[in-house]
Amino acid sequence: MPPYNFSAGPAALPKAVLEEAKTGLTDWRGCGQSVMEIPFTGPEFKSILDDATSSLKELLTIPDDYHVLMIQGGAYGQFSFMPMNLLRGHDSADYAVTGHWSKRAADEARKYCKVNIVTDGSAANFTDIENPDKWRFDPHAAYCHLTTNETANGLQLPHLPDSGDVPLVADVTSDLLTAPLDVSKFGTLYASAQKNMGIAGLTIVIVRDDLAGQALSTTPAVFDYGRLAANTSKVNTPPTWAVYISGLVFKWVLSQGGLAEMARRNRAKAKALYDVIDAGNFYRCPVASRVRSSVNVCFGLPTEELEKQFLSEAAENGLLYLQGHSAAGAIRASLYNAVEQDAVNALTQFMTDFADREVGK
Point out which residues bind ligand PLP (CB under 6 A).
9, 74-76, 101, 147, 151, 171, 173-174, 192, 195
**Closest residue to ligand PLP, based on beta-carbon distance:** 74
Element (DSSP H or E) covering residue 322: none
Looking at beta carbons only, is 11 or 113 nearer to ligand PLP?
11
CA–CA separation, 259 vs 261, rounded Å? 5
Residue 100 contacts by C-beta under 8 Å, 6 or more apart in sequence? 126, 150, 151, 152, 153, 325, 327, 328
Residue 127 contacts by C-beta under 8 Å, 6 or more apart in sequence? 121, 153, 155, 286, 287, 288
Task: Tell me how far, at minimum, the Cβ of 146 lies from ligand PLP, in Å.
Answer: 10
Task: Tell me how far, at minimum, the Cβ of 253 lies from ligand PLP, in Å.
Answer: 19
Burial class (CB in 10 A: 0-12, 13-18, 19+), 117: middle
Looking at beta carbons only, is 38 or 287 nearer to ligand PLP?
287
Looking at beta carbons only, is 174 or 240 nearer to ligand PLP?
174
Task: Tell me how far, at minimum, the Cβ of 97 lies from ligand PLP, in Å.
Answer: 13
Task: Tell me how far, at minimum, the Cβ of 172 lies from ligand PLP, in Å.
Answer: 8
Looking at beta carbons only, is 78 or 348 nearer to ligand PLP?
78
The catalytic site residues sit at: 101, 171, 195
b/e map 133-156, b = 16+ CB within 10 Å: eebebbeebbbbbbbbbbbbbbbb
CA–CA separation, 359 vs 361, rounded Å? 6
